[in-house]
């Protein structure tokens, strides 16, 4: 309590006339862009405010953003679930952006995450009241469903907004559906699914209507609301000019990149199964895909357009938003500041290279059964059908491994173990005295099997490493 009283005394005696703005979640998808926008406005428009940002890891804030500024940006390292960290961050703050979100992780733990979000927002409200914060600005999810119909993810987003509105501060809530931006979960999931799959098996949620909005337009609404008193104490829906289903979005993106796609809708695919599928064919992990997919279950269309009169924005269409995202992605790859992040997403590690090489070697070794092996048993229909499946799985695995999808590593692992068992059984006659697969292999065939087992072991190890390590956090 002494620490809290000290903060209150400093807050109440602060005579600085400049606004102090706090951006929480400053290293996240929304927060990092808002921070960029506030710094740009400070430099180019001489805006009279001080900027403070909060993150759990200060090293996640790119240092180049904070150089050569007339008014240095203050970085607070902490966690809003810790009340003392809340007080440190909010001391002397006039306007606070609440941009943190915890609903990522195993769905079995969502109740725990939801409870954490509740505690975090309650801490924030209590600390805001003690520090006399004038305004809180929050970005939540757009939905008009009843509470008992909402997914746990959307319930939590709504609950946070309701808790924030109980503070003494003037609270502004913006509610958005799909937010399109390079590095954002919604765009990345859309991009990877369309680019990687010639045939997509989709659940019925792809038919639900929503109103996607470009990340730049979201940032404009957030930043401009600082200057607009009319936004105080109100909730606004924000969305782009197009009302689309996720199916429409996939088709439009496919057209932009000149790709032909076929989409098969299966009604019984649940969000859980869908998130596992996304996890396997894209680098986006299931724990991140699940809340994204859950939010797409609910129709998310703007019903209150009042914000466009208060903050006029030339909203980008869905097609324009995608084109901006593609351009931003290309620029990011050329930006040395982001080299480390881009390498994590786009370059193949040693495990990738080992896996691809081992899969190609498996192809070569398997083919020797038709020019090195004298045993005619492998020309019989049963073994030929096994060979066709084996070759097909290798090519499918290589296809997905090249794109960094976990499905490729999963298939490669199964192939590796299957090949290992086959070659072990083929040579087991050395121990038991009679062959199990076909007739007894000669010395060349034995050495071929030994080399095959070595290659299969590399396939197993590298596929295991990739399957358990590929993750894209957005």
Q: What is the 3-state secondary structure (H, E, C) of 130-180?
A: HCCCCEEEEEEECCCCCHHHCCHHHHHHHHHHHHHCCCCCEEEEEEECCEE
- Residue 245 exposed, middle or buried by CB count within 10 Å (0-12, 13-18, 19+): middle
SS3 21: strand
Beta strands 74-77 and 49-55: pairing type?
parallel
Distance, CA of 333 to CA of 342 (rounded, Å): 6
List the beta bridge partners of residue 387.
none
Please count the other Cβ atoms lying within 10 Å of the Cβ belonging to residue 400: 21
Band of residue 347 on the pLDDT scale cut at 50, 70, 90: very low
Query: What is the sign, positive or negative, of the torsion defined by CA atoms of 8, 14, 20, 26?
Result: negative
pLDDT for res 454: 94
* Dihedral angle, C-alpha 327, 328, 333, 335, nearest 10 °: 120
Band of residue 337 on the pLDDT scale cut at 50, 70, 90: very low
Band of residue 283 on the pLDDT scale cut at 50, 70, 90: low
Please count the other Cβ atoms lying within 10 Å of the Cβ belonging to residue 190: 24
Closest alpha carbon to 460 in 470, 450, 468: 468
Question: Locate tokens 């954490």: which residue?
Answer: 116
The stretch 260-265 carries a mean pLDDT of 82
Long-range contacts of 444-450 (CB under 8 A, 24+ apart): 444/372, 445/372, 445/373, 445/375, 448/365, 448/368, 448/372, 448/373, 449/423, 450/423
The stretch 450-464 carries a mean pLDDT of 92
SS3 371: coil
Please count the other Cβ atoms lying within 10 Å of the Cβ belonging to residue 264: 8
The stretch 42-55 carries a mean pLDDT of 80
pLDDT for res 336: 40
Distance, CA of 377 to CA of 435 (rounded, Å): 12
- Tell me the CB-side half-sphere exposure of residue 335, using CA atoms within 13 A: 12
Distance, CA of 35 to CA of 28 (rounded, Å): 10
Distance, CA of 165 to CA of 136 (rounded, Å): 9
Dihedrals φ, ψ of 67, to 5°?
A: -90, 150
pLDDT for res 142: 86
* Contact predicate 359/418, CB 8 Å: no
* Contact predicate 133/171, CB 8 Å: no
* Contact predicate 203/270, CB 8 Å: yes
pLDDT surpasses 60 at 13: no
Question: Locate tokens 């799985």: which residue?
Answer: 393
Please give the residue that has the higher pLDDT: either 236 or 190: 236
* Contact predicate 249/212, CB 8 Å: yes
Domain ranges of the chain: 348-469
Please give the residue that has the higher pLDDT: either 342 or 364: 364
* Contact predicate 98/31, CB 8 Å: no
List the beta bridge partners of residue 472.
284
pLDDT cut 70: percent of the chain above it: 80
Closest alpha carbon to 203 in 245, 259, 173: 245
Give the pLDDT confidence of 106-147 residue by residue, as tens digits.
555 556 667 788 889 999 999 999 999 999 999 988 887 666
Three-point CA angle 263, 266, 272, nearest 5°: 110
First to last CA, the chain: 37
- What residues contact residue 411 under an 8 Å CB cut-off, 6+ apart? 393, 396, 397, 400
Please give the residue that has the higher pLDDT: either 41 or 163: 163
Please count the other Cβ atoms lying within 10 Å of the Cβ belonging to residue 376: 10
> How far is the CA of 290 from the CAs of 76, 250, 286, in angstroms?
30, 18, 6
Nearest-Å Rg of the Cα atoms of the chain is 27
Dihedrals φ, ψ of 113, to 5°?
A: -65, -40
Closest alpha carbon to 284 in 216, 365, 195, 221: 195
Question: Locate tokens 């001391």: which residue?
Answer: 91
pLDDT for res 332: 63
């Amino acid at each position: 309590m002494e620490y809290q009283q000290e903060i209150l005394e400093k807050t109440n005696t602060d005579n600085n006339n400049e606004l102090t703005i706090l951006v929480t979640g400053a290293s996240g998808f929304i927060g990092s862009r808002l921070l960029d926008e506030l710094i740009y406005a400070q430099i180019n428009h001489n805006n009279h405010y001080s900027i403070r940002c909060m993150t759990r890891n200060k090293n996640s804030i790119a240092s180049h953003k904070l150089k050569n500024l007339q008014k240095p940006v203050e970085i607070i390292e902490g966690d809003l679930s810790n009340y003392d960290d809340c007080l440190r961050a909010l001391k002397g703050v006039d306007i606070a952006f609440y941009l943190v979100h915890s609903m990522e992780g195993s769905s079995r733990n969502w109740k725990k995450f939801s409870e954490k979000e509740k505690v975090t927002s309650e801490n924030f409200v209590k600390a805001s009241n003690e520090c006399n914060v004038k305004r809180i600005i929050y970005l939540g999810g757009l939905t008009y469903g009843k509470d008992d119909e909402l997914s746990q993810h959307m319930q939590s987003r709504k609950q946070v907004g309701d808790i924030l509105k109980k503070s003494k501060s003037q609270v502004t809530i913006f509610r958005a559906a799909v937010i399109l931006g390079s590095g954002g979960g919604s765009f990345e999931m859309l991009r990877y699914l369309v680019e990687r799959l010639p045939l997509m098996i989709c659940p019925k949620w792809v038919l639900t209507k929503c109103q996607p909005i470009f990340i730049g337009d979201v940032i404009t609404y957030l930043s401009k609301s600082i200057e607009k008193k009319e936004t105080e104490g109100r909730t606004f829906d924000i969305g782009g000019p197009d009302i689309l289903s996720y199916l429409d979005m996939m088709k439009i993106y496919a057209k932009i990149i000149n790709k032909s796609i076929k989409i098969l809708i299966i009604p019984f695919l649940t969000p859980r199964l869908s998130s596992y599928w996304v996890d396997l064919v894209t680098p986006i992990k299931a724990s991140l895909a699940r809340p994204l997919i859950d939010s797409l279950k609910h129709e998310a269309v703007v019903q209150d357009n009042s914000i466009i009169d208060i903050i006029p924005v030339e909203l980008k269409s869905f097609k324009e938003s995608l084109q901006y995202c593609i351009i931003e992605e290309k620029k990011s790859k050329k930006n040395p500041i982001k080299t480390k992040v881009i390498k994590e997403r786009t370059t193949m590690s040693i495990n990738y290279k080992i896996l691809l090489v081992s899969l190609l070697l498996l192809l070569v070794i398997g083919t020797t059964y038709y020019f090195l092996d004298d045993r005619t048993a492998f020309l019989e229909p049963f073994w030929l059908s096994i060979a066709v499946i084996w070759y097909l799985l290798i090519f499918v695995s290589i296809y997905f491994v090249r794109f960094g999808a976990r499905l490729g590593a999963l298939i490669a692992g199964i192939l590796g173990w299957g090949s290992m068992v086959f070659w072990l059984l083929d040579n087991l006659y050395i121990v038991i005295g009679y062959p199990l697969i076909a007739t007894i292999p000669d010395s060349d065939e034995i050495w071929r099997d030994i080399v095959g087992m070595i290659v299969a072991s590399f396939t197993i190890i590298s596929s295991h490493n990739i399957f358990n390590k590929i993750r894209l956090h957005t």
